[in-house]
Structure 1
Amino acid sequence: MDSKPCIASLTVKTSHVLPPDTNGHGTLFGGELMAHIDDVAAIAATRHARKPVVTASTDSVDFLYPVKEGDTICLEAFVTWTHNTSMEVFVKAVTENLLTGERKVCTTAFLTMVALGEDNRPTTVPNVFPESKEEKLLHEGAPKRAELRKERRKQSKQMAKSFGTGFPWNENSRFGNNPS
């Protein structure tokens, strides 16, 4: 399997922010932006692996600036690092006021995508190599981010085990253990 440059997976998606995409403040719903992020990351990962992919994790998403109704949101994504069956994808979202031309980076995120084989099980992906200064910076930091994700996943599994599937979790609650 030949290695590929980061730029080979570059995916760009621009959308106009319309009234149904916004909340009561006239800004893009956070969940709508997260859906755009997941979509563009999946396209970049699929472009790299040339196989179907699923989202394994999304690192924290910080909303740095609001995206206003009438603005555009432009997302850029590319694979920064690979590890056997998984790919780290960097996503940058830029909001633009089309009337003034003002642009701001409103969000950055890292997602981990896993490639699937014909049996719907994880399958190997090509290695990726950085070329630009920015790609090298992201590539070099990826093993540390992967280790942090691994620890966070371990903690999430423990939390899921502790809380279980019932609600509420406190058996002494006035609601009892009835999940309905």
Structure 2
Amino acid sequence: MRFHTRKWVKPEDLNPNGSLFGGQLLAWIDEEAALYTIIQFENSKIVTKFISEINFMSSAAQGDIVELGIEVLKFGKTSLTLKCEARNKMTRETILTVDNIVMVNLGSDGKPAPHGKTRIEFVKDRLIG
């Protein structure tokens, strides 16, 4: 799994118990999955179709640095299925896992459209050099 993004837990990210609000973490994960998919499909018109069971394993506190990791599980005709993990950057303790996030590519009409991708691509490999 590749960890692409780090988030710093700030006071506005906390719940009444003083730990990271789960909804904030899920928003970060949804954004990370969207950005990853946009880069893979080279199309900014994508949507989240499905997020499977979410397993909270530990919490994070103010000042912690949370890393978000993404792994591609499958390329579908119009979709990309991802796996995600959030962990504490300093301790490497897993905070949350999501086994399946399905992102869908949209055409100009706003409906699912084939993306034509079959494997992970890196931006550096697309550049003519």
With structure 2 as the length reference, what TM-score do the two structures score?
A: 0.83
Question: Is this contact kept in 2: 1:62–1:108, CA < 8 A?
Answer: yes
Q: TM-score, normalised by structure 1?
A: 0.60
Q: RMSD across aligned C-alpha pairs, in angstroms?
A: 1.7
Residues 92 and 48 of structure 1, relative CA distance in 2, 3 Å threshold: same
Q: Per-residue displacement from partner, 1:85-120 (whole Å, max 9, x unpaired)? A: 011011111113xxxx32211111121000011221
The structure richer in helix per residue is: 1
| Structure 1 residues not aligned, in runs of 5+ | 1-6, 130-180
The answer for the alignment partner of 1:22 in structure 2 is 14
Provide the aligned length of Structure 1 versus Structure 2: 117
Aligned twin of 2:103:
113
* Unmatched tracts of structure 2, length 5 or more: 121-129
Report which of the two structures shows the higher radius of gyration computed on alpha carbons. Answer: 1
The corresponding residue for 1:38 is: 30
- Aligned-partner SS, 1:70: coil
Aligned twin of 1:48? 40
Instruction: Tell me, in whole angstroms, the C-alpha distance in 2 between the residues paired with 1:43 and 1:103.
Output: 23
Looking at secondary structure, tell me which structure has more strand per residue.
Answer: 2
One-letter code aligned to 1:107? L
* Of 52, 57, 62, the match for 1:64: 57
Give 1:1-180 correspondences, 5 Å limit: 12-51=4-43, 52-96=45-89, 101-109=90-98, 110-125=100-115, 126-128=117-119
Q: Quick one: higher RCO (CA 8 Å, sep 6+), 1 or 2?
A: 2
Q: Give the fraction of aligned pairs with identical amino acids, expressed as a percent.
A: 28
